[in-house]
Amino acid sequence: MILTPHMLVGAALGAQTSNAWVAFLLGIISHYIVDAFPHWEYITKANASNPGHSKKVLIDFTTGLILILFFAWPNPNLMIIMIAVIGSILPDFLHGMCFSFKIKWLEPHLAMHHKIHSFRMLSFKQGVLAIIVVSLVAIWVLTL
């Protein structure tokens, strides 16, 4: 799954708690749950040194951040929400670091992420629909 829905799901879960540690943990867990379902991704083998990949990731991350700030700004627990967001994208960050820079001590995480991750990719149309549905549900929960 791309970053924006991961971030929105993490934000939605973070908005439901007042404990930063719980929010961070829920963000991490949500990442693996969302990745376990078939989905679409714009990059199948990320490479941090590829400028095209970096641009896509930056646009995706910025989109998620703008949406979260727009919908969560009035929430008094905004910092906790953002901690959950960090947790929700941390697994992909670690995955990218391990894959791109061959960091040995991250290899167990890479193996676990691969075990959980669904490799049944949806078509572009199906994937975008899934992204929209997950994102809208997360925004709804975030704004409760």
Tell me what pLDDT residue 42 has: 79
pLDDT digits (tens, 9 = 90+) for 9-20: 999 999 999 999
Measure the CA–CA gap between 90 and 114, rounded to whole angstroms: 15
Q: What whole-number percentage of the chain has pLDDT above 90?
A: 61
Residue 132 has pLDDT above 80, yes or no: yes
pLDDT digits (tens, 9 = 90+) for 40-69: 887 766 555 677 778 888 999 999 999 999
Per-residue burial over 76-107, b if 16 or more Cβ lie within 10 Å, else e, is ebbebbbbbbbbbbbbbeebbbbbeeeeeebe
Radius of gyration of the chain (CA): 15
Count of CA atoms in the C-beta half-sphere (13 A) of 80: 18
List of residues 6+ apart from 77 with CB closer than 8 A: 14, 15, 17, 18
pLDDT digits (tens, 9 = 90+) for 37-46: 988 887 766 5
Alpha helix segments (H runs only) across the chain? 3-14, 20-36, 51-72, 78-101, 107-116, 124-142
Q: Look up residue 35 and give its two tokens.
A: 């990745």
Residue type, 118: S
